[in-house]
Amino acid sequence: MEYKESGFAKRLRKRLRCLENEKLKNLEDEKFLKLLRIIDFIEEKIGNEILPFGICHRDFTPWNTFFHNDKLYVFDWEYAEKEYPPMLDLFHFIVQDGILVKHLKPERLIKLIPKHRRLLKKYCDSLGIKDSLIMPLLLCYLIDISLLYIERENNNPVPTTSKTLHIWNEMIEIIVNSS
């Protein structure tokens, strides 16, 4: 399915519009418009790309998984959704570990992605998608996870969430400015 026709792309824009009306009253117009421009930027980069969509855990982290007898167990599925683009769980695993365990700054977090390039390329190859889509899909992840946290906390985030949202926002800016 083409990205721009996916339920994910349509829901992302709709979620932002709903938050604009209900919860983002404290967000300056400039920041809201920036989020809309980033969604437009994503659609410009990957809108016509055919991607495999599937289930996304949305909180896939080392602390929500464990191995036992050569099997991976994943728990805490309360944020899971259907019809999500590929790689978002993999990005969450890398980024959240970088933020919460390694305490990395946004610039270093962005540099983690190329460090995992071999794994990401192998994953892209297995799905039949271009590895040039990695950064636009990372933007999809960052927008989606930011909206999830804003929605979850009714636009009144606790300090640790505010810090994480700030880091994700800086990552978004770095990616967009380097494209």
How far apart are alpha carbons 111 and 84 in whole angstroms? 24
CB 109 within 8 A of CB 98: yes
pLDDT of 41-76, one tens digit each?
Answer: 999 999 999 999 999 999 999 999 999 999 999 999
Does the pLDDT value for residue 28 go beyond 80? Answer: no
Does the pLDDT value for residue 29 go beyond 70? Answer: no
CB 52 within 8 A of CB 8: no
Q: Count other Cβ atoms within 10 Å, centred on residue 40.
A: 12
pLDDT of 90-111, one tens digit each?
Answer: 999 999 999 999 999 999 999 9
The full set of domains in the chain, from first to last, is 3-178 (3.90.1200.10)
Q: How far is CA 21 from CA 40, 136, 145, 149, in A?
A: 19, 26, 19, 17
pLDDT of 70-91, one tens digit each?
Answer: 999 999 999 999 999 999 999 9
What's the pLDDT at 23?
53
Number of helices followed by number of strands (H, E) in the chain = 7, 4
Does the pLDDT value for residue 128 go beyond 90? Answer: yes
CB 30 within 8 A of CB 56: no
What's the pLDDT at 31?
64
How far apart are alpha carbons 158 and 35 in whole angstroms? 21
Find, among 45, 46, 41, 35, the residue nearest to 6 by Cα: 46
Q: Count other Cβ atoms within 10 Å, centred on residue 149.
A: 16
Alpha helix stretches (DSSP H) within 23-80 = 29-46
In terms of pLDDT, which residue wins out, 35 or 48?
Answer: 48
pLDDT band at 146 (very low <50, low <70, confident <90, very high): very high
What's the pLDDT at 49?
95
Cα–chain-centroid distance for residue 96?
Answer: 11
Average pLDDT of the chain is 90
